[in-house]
Amino acid sequence: IWGNTLVDVKDIDITNLSFEEAIDIVPMEEDSGFKDERFDIILGNPPYMRTEEIKGTTSSKEIEVYKKNYKSAYKQYDKYFLFIERAILKLKSDGIAGLLVPNKFFTIGAAIELRKFIQNNNGLKQITDFKYAQIFEGVTNYVAMVQFGNFNSPIFNYSVVNSINGAFQSHVRLAYNSNNLLASHWFLTEDKELRDLYDFAINNFPKIEEEILTVNGIQTSKNDVYLLKK
């Protein structure tokens, strides 16, 4: 099946699209079979694209569909958030989606709605985190291989590897209960002792926001203004 897996034809008035927009968006047709299909396996390396890049390369009509249909299209979302959400929704009850995605969605504020969605659906089976290891030649990305699914259980396994080959070798995996993860961020480590210390601190120490007022410093997303050429 070929088409835009994020946008169905019912989501957009194709009579209002220009020829260029129709070619660019390519909404998934009703009769393609994709609408009602549920999959055993989904494999993918979805595009990593920040909100600013989406706005600069994507039709406003398509962006409207993102905001309307996807819980993960929240604040400064990344396009791969939407693919994670869509993949989970398109799986059979015992299906698995294996996606290679940036690991920052574990912690960043913009991904809080995505994390809630995953937790509410018991949507995690396994995370193999490359952490700081670089697997794309000439491009800096911090990624993880994430298996989504496992809808009947909140338990998933987490491990850290430092190479592609290492991902397919036996290594220590630490089991987590997704119900015990905070929505604000996921603290994930393969070190059980460190996790136990973290859990103790969360349960026994005051949060920093309760003790002091925290504020953001100067920030901007207007890169074309603030990134200066030599």
Q: How confident is the model at residue 14, as a pLDDT?
A: 78
Q: How confident is the model at residue 90, as a pLDDT?
A: 92
Confidence label for 227 from pLDDT (cuts 50, 70 and 90): confident
Q: How confident is the model at residue 198, as a pLDDT?
A: 92
The arithmetic mean of pLDDT across residues 65-92, rounded, is: 94
Strand partners, 156: 176
Extract the tokens encoding 118.
Answer: 């995953």
- Give the model confidence (pLDDT) of 83-116 as tens digits: 999 999 999 999 999 999 999 999 999 999 999 9
Q: How confident is the model at residue 26, as a pLDDT?
A: 84
Look at residue 47 and tell me whether its pLDDT is greater than 80: yes
Look at residue 229 and tell me whether its pLDDT is greater than 80: no
- Residue 184 to residue 112: CA distance in whole angstroms: 6
- Residue 94 to residue 42: CA distance in whole angstroms: 12
Look at residue 18 and tell me whether its pLDDT is greater than 90: no
Look at residue 168 and tell me whether its pLDDT is greater than 90: no
- Of the two residues 60 and 226, the one the predictor is more confident about is 60
Query: Largest Cα–Cα distance in the chain?
Result: 60
Mean pLDDT score across all residues of the chain: 89
